[in-house]
């Protein structure tokens, strides 16, 4: 056994998942509250720590200390299982996201799988089990309706989500996320083919299907993460709190964290696929190849770039949430099945034709 | 009666919703920017900043009992406020004023007068219904306590909050 | 019936023709026609002086033709045209005649009522906030319905005595008095204690009690009931609770065999006052003060609230389960002839039926109730101070209740009786059992609302509900079946007697499926011949005659005479 690989993997897991992603979840809750407050001419949490930054810590302590209440009428086993089933898949998908190029010769990805996007989709679709179990085992009508809504919504949007990245995979001919990013670093981001080989007629023409993909992917991501304008599983005005109505304390916190974790992973995936991941624009500091040696400070800059992009995307998520009203349920289903599904299919065909022309 | 809502005819690019998204974001981000650049200020940082000097005349704070300039407790325990109180916050136990009291001719006064400030909704109906001008809503709004019992204002506390009010109708004058 | 019909006369009230017996008061005719004529001084059980002038109505008779002129022709229904008299008459003291017309609305009567109200209020102190009558005050009601809404009186109001003690139980406020004289007439005509009267004249008239006397008779609080304003108030109820807060429950008085019909006013499980309720076959409109005020003990400190079991020489709190089980063990071990049951004639028929079950089940050898005999007062109070002696005779089947008590005492003395079950009776204070005698018993079980000497001597003490805390039926001295209704919830763990006895029967091996007191009434209706076919709802608020006892109530006899002589309406 090569201890070196295991130790490196453990360090990457601990640092990336537990020291970066989870605090980011907490901070994005704080950011959400501050941004929404500013949008609504309020102040937001500003009491705990400087600018209220420690609010997330206070919230965490509160969640830990609150009474962990299990109602009498619930199905205990599934009731306890559901929060874990929501949180775990969300964090699992972190494994394949390349959050940097390399540092001291080590690739900045936990598992350098050759089927990255497929792994993400397969694991992320497990989240729906957590939600449907929560809704069903709570044995309450609001939870049940929330669970049912969530299930149908996630199933509907998973299809267009999957189809939307097919053109991208066709263009890159690659399923390894690390190599996709490397390709983008040298030859222009998928959405911004402004340098390298991307700066050509082929690059500009192929940007059209990629743009369509991006729109479908982002919108479906909103739906997958149950956020406004697609937060029908929770919608307070109709379902109290949807599938987690009966949950309290840390079990509720797990749902909460799972939702935000899904948002961060979604942002990471979008950044990786469409916005060049850890790469800087115009090929600056781009490594010449996937295994090329680079100085350590390049690696650090790449990690920083990646997280800057993710944070920007999260802010976009937040602003959208506080801008758009909620869709009606039939509109949501119509949008998913009648428009996105067809457009995504058409987009695959279009890409194939374009690729055949620009061989 | 059915009202038929005229839905606007959307152009094809409007139906994409994407322009609407950016128009919406212009509004929300506009607010975001103006609040971050401190151009607008709406919220008040409560415990540090207070609005006390701007409270309007009709502000409805904690209800309290008053005495008048003749040092008479104005409440005669008619219990109309107890009756009108929507959340049933008021409990009064009346008693007879002993014959040797200066105001024995008023005959009746509250033995206990409790207002449960956890229940009180500051509606002001007690003040409105009072036939004796004895109960008024003061401007005290920060009514807090560390126990339920502490949140029940008894007669003594109510008179302490209410204090003396001058210039009220002196119904129980020497002619009565 | 046909004979009575010949006396009917046609009367037109507010444009509609009715038929009423000739000689009826106009106000009663209007009431029966569904038209309420406002009034203060008129009371159907008292004579009508006609001094408040509130009941003024417009009246008309057929025109009397001038000599030689033709008499007016009747219409197709036989009614003559009415020529209205241009001035009003009082409806309370005038009687109806053939083809009479009465108008209770219209500008004339409305103006009259407005004027009367304004004058009544001219000197009224308007101290409703401190007046106990507020909320049930005719002055308030008619002021809203018929008054002007404002006063033109700008001068100084007349000062009169306030807060006057006219008797031990009644307080007088002369400023509120509207000189209706109802109280004067009541003390004179009903209570035969004419101590009240008017002195001075004009707007200085005051109601006073005769010098050196006071309004102290046992019916004085009825003056408070009939006072239409707050001039007379009850010392006991004074400033206790506003009337609009209280829930009214119709039930009966249990202080004597008359069983006066009463209304109990309670708020949040506390009884504040009791007033008589009209029942012309039992108590007319009145009730004695002694009975009316005998309810404060219900809230007494001495109330038993939990079952107690004797442990050595002191009692400890036990649950119902343990207390009943203890009693069951003791009773099962004894022969029926060694047990005596002393029930109470204060129990309802339903509870007595359960006592009968217990006696039958345990084959009890000695059964009796405690007799309470006082003095009849010649009005409403019966000599028999138990409310349900007739029920004991009928349901429990005792011919002479109270006659066996001495035999039971002797039995205990001789050691033949080893256990006594005292149900709702205080043996030491009310039946002459000495604590020493009770000490000879192997087992004494007692149920009672209050702690007392008997409870002290008992091995098992069970809290039994009092009259205000249970429902049931009782039979009064005249043989009338009347309903007792639950007013307040019993304190603590207290149970109704029938529940206690049911549990006792059950724990000693007898079974029954009784869960509600209404089930017991059904069994009563099935088992006791006099109750045959009766239902709970049939009894109603006023009760119904069940058996013939030959007993009459003196106050009612006199009332009937006064009605027959035309003094009062009744």
pLDDT in tens, A22-79: 888 888 888 888 888 888 888 888 888 888 888 888 888 888 888 888 888 888 888 8
Residues of chain C contacting B94 with CB distance shorter than 8 Å: 239-240
Q: How confident is the model at residue C111 (pLDDT cuts 50, 70, 90)?
A: very high
pLDDT, mean of residues B54-71? 90
* B106 in contact with C, Cβ within 8 Å: yes
* B28 in contact with A, Cβ within 8 Å: yes
Q: How confident is the model at residue A236 (pLDDT cuts 50, 70, 90)?
A: low
Q: What is the pLDDT of residues C295-339, one digit of tens each?
A: 999 999 999 999 999 988 889 999 999 999 999 999 999 998 999
Residues of chain A contacting B45 with CB distance shorter than 8 Å: 43
Contact C46, C20 (CB under 8 A): no
* Alpha helices (H) in chain A, listed in sequence order: 3-12, 22-39, 55-65, 76-92, 116-124, 127-137, 141-172, 177-187, 201-224, 236-239, 249-274, 296-321, 329-334, 341-357
Residues carrying CATH 3.40.50.740, chain C: 308-554
Three-state DSSP class for residue C558: helix
CATH architecture of the domain with residue range C124-299: 2-Layer Sandwich (3.30)
Q: What is the pLDDT of residues C414-452, one digit of tens each?
A: 999 999 999 999 999 988 899 889 989 999 999 999 999
CA C147, CA C153: separation in Å to the nearest integer?
14
Q: Among A89-103, C435-449, C532-546, where is mean pLDDT lowest?
A: A89-103
Of the candidates A138, A87, A142, which has an alpha carbon nearest to the alpha carbon of residue A253?
A: A87
- The percentage of residues in chain A with a pLDDT greater than 70, rounded to a whole number, is 97
pLDDT of residue C16: 93
Q: Among A227-236, C30-39, C490-499, where is mean pLDDT lowest?
A: A227-236
In the numeric block, which tokens belong to residue B172?
A: 């129980």
* B176 in contact with C, Cβ within 8 Å: yes
CA C194, CA B56: separation in Å to the nearest integer?
62
Q: In this complex, which of B18, B28, B42 lies closest to A323 when CB atoms are compared?
A: B28
Q: What is the pLDDT of residues C229-245, one digit of tens each?
A: 999 999 999 999 999 99
Give the N- to C-terminal CA distance of chain C in Å, as an integer: 20
pLDDT, mean of residues A88-108? 79
In the numeric block, which tokens belong to residue C268?
A: 């949040």
Q: Class of the C2-105 domain?
A: alpha beta
- pLDDT for residue C4 is more than 70: no
* B18 in contact with A, Cβ within 8 Å: yes
Task: Say if the Cβ atoms of A319 and B21 lie within 8 Å.
Answer: no
Q: How far is B40 from chain A (nearest CA, A)?
A: 8
Q: How far is B88 from chain C (nearest CA, A)?
A: 12
- Looking at per-residue pLDDT, the higher value among A33 and B174 belongs to A33
Task: Say if the Cβ atoms of B42 and A42 lie within 8 Å.
Answer: yes
Helix, strand, coil distribution of chain B in percent, nearest 5: 30, 15, 55
Contact B134, B98 (CB under 8 A): no
Contact A149, A232 (CB under 8 A): yes
Is the bond into C269 cis (omega within 30 degrees of 0)? no
Q: In this complex, which of B21, B25, B32 lies closest to A38 when CB atoms are compared?
A: B32
* B134 in contact with C, Cβ within 8 Å: no
Q: How far is B84 from chain C (nearest CA, A)?
A: 11
pLDDT of residue C6: 58
Task: Say if the Cβ atoms of C128 and B78 lie within 8 Å.
Answer: yes
Q: Regarding beta strands C339-343 and C366-369, do their DSSP bridges make them parallel or antiparallel, or are they unpaired?
A: parallel
Residues of chain B contacting A214 with CB distance shorter than 8 Å: none
pLDDT, mean of residues A304-325? 87
CA A166, CA C149: separation in Å to the nearest integer?
86
pLDDT, mean of residues C76-96? 90
- pLDDT for residue C106 is more than 70: yes
Q: How far is A288 from chain B (nearest CA, A)?
A: 38
Q: In this complex, which of B82, B132, B176 lies closest to C129 when CB atoms are compared?
A: B132
* A341 in contact with B, Cβ within 8 Å: no
Q: In this complex, which of B95, B105, B175 lies closest to C239 when CB atoms are compared?
A: B95
Q: How far is CA C131 from the centre of its chain?
A: 24
How does the average pLDDT of chain C come out, rounded? 91
pLDDT of residue C1: 38
* B112 in contact with C, Cβ within 8 Å: no
Q: In this complex, which of A35, A42, A319 lies closest to B25 when CB atoms are compared?
A: A319
Q: Class of the B54-162 domain?
A: alpha beta
Choose the mutation target among B10, B19, B20, B32 for the interface with A, i.e. most A CBs under 10 Å: B32
β-strand partners of C448: C463
How does the average pLDDT of chain B come out, rounded? 89
How does the average pLDDT of chain A come out, rounded? 83
Q: How confident is the model at residue B174 (pLDDT cuts 50, 70, 90)?
A: confident
* B6 in contact with A, Cβ within 8 Å: no
Task: Say if the Cβ atoms of C128 and B176 lie within 8 Å.
Answer: no
pLDDT of residue A1: 56
Task: Say if the Cβ atoms of B79 and C242 lie within 8 Å.
Answer: yes
* B31 in contact with A, Cβ within 8 Å: yes
Q: How confident is the model at residue C515 (pLDDT cuts 50, 70, 90)?
A: confident
Residue of C nearest to B130 (CA): C129
Range C308-554 classified under CATH 2.40.30.10: no
Task: Say if the Cβ atoms of B24 and A324 lie within 8 Å.
Answer: yes
Neighbours of A293 (CB within 10 A): 10
Contact C104, C14 (CB under 8 A): yes
* B86 in contact with C, Cβ within 8 Å: no
Residues of C with CB under 8 A from a CB of B: 125, 128-130, 134, 156, 162-163, 238-242, 244-245
Residue of C nearest to B134 (CA): C129
Would you call A246 exposed, middle or buried from its count of C-beta atoms within 10 A (0-12, 13-18, 19+)? buried
Residues of chain C contacting B105 with CB distance shorter than 8 Å: 162-163
Q: Please tell me the number of Cα atoms within 13 Å of C28 on its side-chain side.
A: 19
Task: Say if the Cβ atoms of A39 and B31 lie within 8 Å.
Answer: yes
Query: Phi, psi (5° rounding) for residue A328?
Result: -80, 155
- Chains C and A make contact, 3+ CB pairs within 8 Å: no
Q: Among B60-69, C60-69, C188-197, C274-283, where is mean pLDDT lowest?
A: C60-69
Q: What is the pLDDT of residues B78-125, one digit of tens each?
A: 999 999 999 999 999 999 999 899 888 899 999 999 999 999 999 999
Residues of chain A contacting B27 with CB distance shorter than 8 Å: 323
- Looking at per-residue pLDDT, the higher value among A50 and C485 belongs to C485
Q: What is the pLDDT of residues C118-156, one digit of tens each?
A: 999 999 998 899 999 999 999 999 999 999 888 898 888
**Which residues have a Cβ under 8 Å from the Cβ of C1 and sit 6 or more positions away?**
none
Q: What is the pLDDT of residues A264-301, one digit of tens each?
A: 888 888 888 888 878 887 767 777 776 777 777 888 88
Residues of chain B contacting C130 with CB distance shorter than 8 Å: 76-78, 106-108
Residue of C nearest to B92 (CA): C241
Of the candidates C531, C527, C503, which has an alpha carbon nearest to the alpha carbon of residue C515?
A: C503
Q: In this complex, which of C156, C239, C244 lies closest to B108 when CB atoms are compared?
A: C239
In the numeric block, which tokens belong to residue C85?
A: 């008299």
- Looking at per-residue pLDDT, the higher value among A150 and C401 belongs to C401
pLDDT of residue A317: 86
Contact A254, A87 (CB under 8 A): yes
Residues of chain C contacting B107 with CB distance shorter than 8 Å: 130, 162-163, 239
Residue of A nearest to B48 (CA): A47
Q: Among C80-94, C419-433, C508-522, where is mean pLDDT lowest?
A: C508-522
pTM given for the model: 0.76
Residues of chain B contacting C238 with CB distance shorter than 8 Å: 96
Of the candidates B171, B176, B131, B126, which has an alpha carbon nearest to the alpha carbon of residue C134?
A: B131
Task: Say if the Cβ atoms of A41 and B35 lie within 8 Å.
Answer: yes
Q: How far is B60 from chain C (nearest CA, A)?
A: 24
pLDDT of residue A123: 86
Q: How far is A107 from chain B (nearest CA, A)?
A: 38
Contact B75, B156 (CB under 8 A): no
Sequence spans of domains, chain B:
12-42, 54-162
Q: Which residue has the tokens 């979008």?
A: A270
- The percentage of residues in chain C with a pLDDT greater than 90, rounded to a whole number, is 77
Of the candidates C320, C283, C284, C280, which has an alpha carbon nearest to the alpha carbon of residue C304?
A: C320
pLDDT of residue C3: 44
Contact C430, C385 (CB under 8 A): no
pLDDT of residue C104: 93
Query: Three-state secondary structure along B50-67?
Result: CCHHHCCCCCCCCEEECE
Counting DSSP H helices and E strands in chain B, the numbers are 5, 5
How big is the A-B interface in CB pairs under 8 Å? 37
In the numeric block, which tokens belong to residue C505?
A: 């029967």
Task: Say if the Cβ atoms of A39 and B32 lie within 8 Å.
Answer: yes
In the numeric block, which tokens belong to residue A289?
A: 């190849």
Residues of chain A contacting B38 with CB distance shorter than 8 Å: none
Q: What is the pLDDT of residues B122-150, one digit of tens each?
A: 999 999 999 999 999 988 888 888 999 99
């Amino acid at each position: 056994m090569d201890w070196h690989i295991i130790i490196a993997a453990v360090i990457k897991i601990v640092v990336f998942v537990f020291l970066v992603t989870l605090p980011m979840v907490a901070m994005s809750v704080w950011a959400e509250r501050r941004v929404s407050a500013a949008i609504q001419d309020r102040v937001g949490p500003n009491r705990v720590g400087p600018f209220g930054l420690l609010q997330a810590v206070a919230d965490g302590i509160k969640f830990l200390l609150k009474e962990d209440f299990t109602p009498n009428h619930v199905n205990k086993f599934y009731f306890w299982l559901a929060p874990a089933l929501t949180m775990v898949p969300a964090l699992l998908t972190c494994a394949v996201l390349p959050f940097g190029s390399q540092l001291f010769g080590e690739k900045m990805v936990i598992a350098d799988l050759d089927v990255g996007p497929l792994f993400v989709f397969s694991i992320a679709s497990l989240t729906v089990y957590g939600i449907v179990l929560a809704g069903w085992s709570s044995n309450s009508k609001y939870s049940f309706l929330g669970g049912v809504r969530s299930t149908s919504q996630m199933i509907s949007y998973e299809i267009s989500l999957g189809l939307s990245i097919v053109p991208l995979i066709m263009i890159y001919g690659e399923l390894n996320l690390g190599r996709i990013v490397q390709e983008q670093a040298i030859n222009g981001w998928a959405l911004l083919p402004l340098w390298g080989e991307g700066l050509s007629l082929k690059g500009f023409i192929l940007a059209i299907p990629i743009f369509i993909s991006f729109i479908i992917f982002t919108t479906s991501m909103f739906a997958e993460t149950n956020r406004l304008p697609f937060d029908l599983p929770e919608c307070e005005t109709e379902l109290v709190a949807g599938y987690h109505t009966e949950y309290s304390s840390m079990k509720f916190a797990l749902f909460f964290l799972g939702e935000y974790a899904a948002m961060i992973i979604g942002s990471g995936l979008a950044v990786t696929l469409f916005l060049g991941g850890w790469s800087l624009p115009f090929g600056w500091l781009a490594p010449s190849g996937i295994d090329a040696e680079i100085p350590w400070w390049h690696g650090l800059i790449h990690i920083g770039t990646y997280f800057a992009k993710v944070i920007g995307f999260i802010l976009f998520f937040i602003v959208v949430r506080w801008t758009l009203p909620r869709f009606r349920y039939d509109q949501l289903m119509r949008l998913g099945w009648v428009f996105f599904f067809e457009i995504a299919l058409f987009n695959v065909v279009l890409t194939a034709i374009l690729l055949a022309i620009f061989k | 009666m059915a009202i038929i809502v005229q839905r606007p005819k959307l152009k094809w690019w409007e139906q994409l919703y994407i322009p609407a998204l950016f128009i919406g974001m212009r509004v929300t981000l506009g607010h975001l920017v103006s609040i971050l650049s401190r151009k607008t200020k709406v919220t008040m940082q409560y415990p540090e900043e207070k609005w006390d000097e701007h409270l309007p005349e009709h502000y409805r704070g904690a209800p309290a009992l008053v005495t008048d300039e003749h040092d008479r407790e104005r409440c005669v325990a008619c219990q109309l406020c107890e009756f009108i109180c929507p959340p049933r916050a008021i409990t009064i136990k009346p008693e007879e004023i002993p014959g040797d009291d200066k105001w024995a001719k008023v005959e009746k006064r509250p033995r206990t007068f409790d207002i449960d400030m956890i229940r009180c909704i500051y509606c002001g109906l007690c003040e409105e219904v009072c036939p004796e001008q004895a109960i008024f809503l003061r401007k005290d709004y920060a009514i807090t306590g560390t126990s339920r019992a502490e949140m029940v204002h008894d007669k003594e506390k109510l008179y302490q909050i209410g204090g003396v009010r001058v210039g009220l109708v002196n119904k129980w004058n020497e002619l009565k | 019936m046909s004979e009575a019909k010949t006396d009917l006369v046609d009367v037109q009230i507010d444009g509609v023709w009715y038929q009423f017996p000739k000689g009826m008061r106009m106000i009663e005719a209007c009431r029966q026609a569904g038209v309420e004529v406002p009034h203060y001084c008129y009371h159907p059980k008292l004579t009508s002086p006609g001094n408040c002038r509130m009941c003024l109505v417009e009246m008309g008779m057929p025109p009397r033709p001038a000599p030689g002129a033709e008499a007016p022709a009747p219409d197709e229904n036989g009614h003559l045209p009415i020529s209205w008299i241009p001035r009003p008459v009082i409806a309370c003291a005038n009687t109806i005649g053939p083809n009479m017309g009465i108008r209770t609305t219209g500008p004339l009567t409305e103006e009259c009522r407005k004027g009367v109200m304004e004058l009544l209020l001219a000197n009224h102190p308007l101290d409703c906030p401190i007046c106990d009558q507020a909320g049930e005050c005719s002055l308030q009601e008619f002021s809203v319905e018929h008054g002007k809404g404002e006063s033109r009186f700008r001068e100084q109001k007349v000062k009169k005595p306030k807060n006057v003690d006219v008797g031990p139980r009644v307080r007088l406020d002369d400023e509120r008095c509207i000189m209706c004289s109802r109280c004067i007439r009541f003390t004179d005509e009903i209570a035969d204690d004419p101590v009240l009267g008017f002195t001075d004249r004009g707007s200085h008239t005051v109601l006073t009690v005769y010098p050196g006397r006071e309004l102290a008779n046992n019916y004085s609080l009825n003056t408070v009931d009939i006072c239409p304003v707050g001039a007379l108030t009850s010392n006991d109820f004074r400033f206790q609770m506003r009337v609009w807060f209280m829930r009214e429950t119709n039930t009966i008085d249990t202080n004597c065999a008359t069983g006066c019909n009463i209304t109990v006013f309670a708020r949040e499980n506390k009884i504040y006052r009791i007033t008589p309720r009209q029942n012309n076959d039992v108590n007319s409109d009145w009730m004695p003060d002694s009975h009316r005020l005998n309810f404060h003990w219900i809230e007494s400190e001495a109330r038993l609230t939990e079952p107690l079991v004797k442990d050595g020489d002191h009692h400890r709190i036990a649950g119902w389960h343990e207390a009943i089980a203890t009693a069951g063990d003791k009773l099962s071990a004894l022969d029926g002839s060694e047990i005596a049951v002393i029930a109470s004639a204060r129990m309802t028929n339903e509870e007595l039926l359960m006592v009968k079950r217990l006696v039958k089940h345990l084959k009890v050898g000695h059964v009796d109730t405690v007799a309470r005999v006082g003095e009849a007062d010649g009005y409403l109070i019966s000599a028999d101070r138990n409310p349900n002696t007739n029920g004991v005779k009928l349901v429990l089947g005792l011919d002479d209740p109270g006659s066996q008590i001495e035999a039971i005492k002797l039995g205990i003395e001789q050691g033949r009786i080893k256990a006594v079950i005292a149900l709702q009776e205080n043996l030491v204070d009310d039946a002459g059992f000495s604590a020493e005698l009770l000490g000879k018993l192997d087992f004494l079980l007692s149920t009672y609302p209050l702690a007392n000497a008997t409870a002290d001597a008992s091995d098992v003490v069970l809290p039994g509900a009092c009259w205000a805390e249970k429902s049931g039926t009782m039979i009064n001295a005249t043989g009338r079946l009347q309903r007792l209704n639950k007013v307040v919830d019993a304190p603590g763990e207290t149970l109704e007697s029938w529940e206690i006895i049911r549990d006792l029967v059950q724990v000693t091996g007898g079974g029954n499926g009784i869960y509600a007191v209404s089930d017991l009434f059904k069994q009563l209706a099935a088992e006791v011949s006099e109750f045959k076919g009766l239902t709970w709802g049939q009894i109603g608020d006023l009760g119904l005659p069940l058996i013939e006892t030959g007993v009459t109530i003196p106050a009612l006899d006199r009332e009937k005479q006064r009605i027959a002589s035309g003094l009062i309406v009744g």
